[in-house]
Every structure is written in structure tokens, then in C-alpha cells.
Amino acid sequence: MQADSTNPRGFTRWLVAVNLSPLYVVYKMYDIEDVVLYVGVSGRLYDRMRTHFYEKPWITEVARVEVEHVPNEERARRRERELIETEYPVHNIAGQPAKIPTLARIDLLLAILAAFHHEEYPLS
């Protein structure tokens, strides 16, 4: 099930309908270029979306939302973890692989270590 957030009236009706469902949902938020921004789970999607709208500055990037119904919270949480581990949503922190340090940070770390050991390290 999908919703287009560019149509506010239709999007709100869709959220209310999904919120009345007795099932848990796993949702994916996409930007206009179909990049996965966020993956989440909820038993009350309307309330969860409202929280995102008030608390997340990146919510303006959302162009569409995909929803997958699941029968219970345990399966929903498992599915959420799978999606985070395979799709690497931009704004999910939990479940993401460790970020590889940039060369600038590696150079800085080496310079700090060299200073600690009283050695010179040429920065590139």
C-alpha cells in the first residue's frame, strides 16, 4: 500500500484508514528520487506520522510512504530490522553499519596519535 504525500487531503484519509487497521505496519519513507529515507514500525501509523511531522526536520524530504501490514509486533520489528540492514535508510541510526571514517578524519587521528607519541606525521 502506498501514499503520495504531495496530496495532503488524500494522504490524511489514507493515514486514518491505515490507523484503524488492527495490524502492525512497517513503513518506508522515500524521497522524490526513491531513496529510502526512513523505515519504521507502528501499531498506530497516524499517530506515528504525526510525531514525525512535529519532530523530524527531514520530514519535508518525504515524497511517498509505503506500508506493509504484518500480523504482530514481533514480526513487524523483525521486518523493520531486515529493511534497515538491507536498504540503509538515510535517517535510521539503529541497525546501520558503522560508518567508514573519511581520509580527513583518518589524517587527523594519525596526527593526534603522532603528537601523543612525540613523532611527526605529515598531513596530506
Whether residue 80 contacts residue 26, with contact meaning beta carbons closer than 8 Å, is answered with: yes
Extents of the domains making up the chain: 2-93, 97-124
Grouping H, G, I as helix, E, B as strand and the rest as coil, residue 49 is: helix
Closest CA to 83 of 71, 91, 95: 95
pLDDT of residue 23: 81
**Could you tell me which of 18, 93, 90 has the C-alpha nearest to residue 48?**
18
Mean per-residue pLDDT pooled into runs of 10, the chain (124 residues): 54 58 84 93 87 88 90 93 92 66 61 61 50
pLDDT at 121: 46
Q: Return the pLDDT at 99.
A: 57
- CATH class entry, domain 2-93: alpha beta
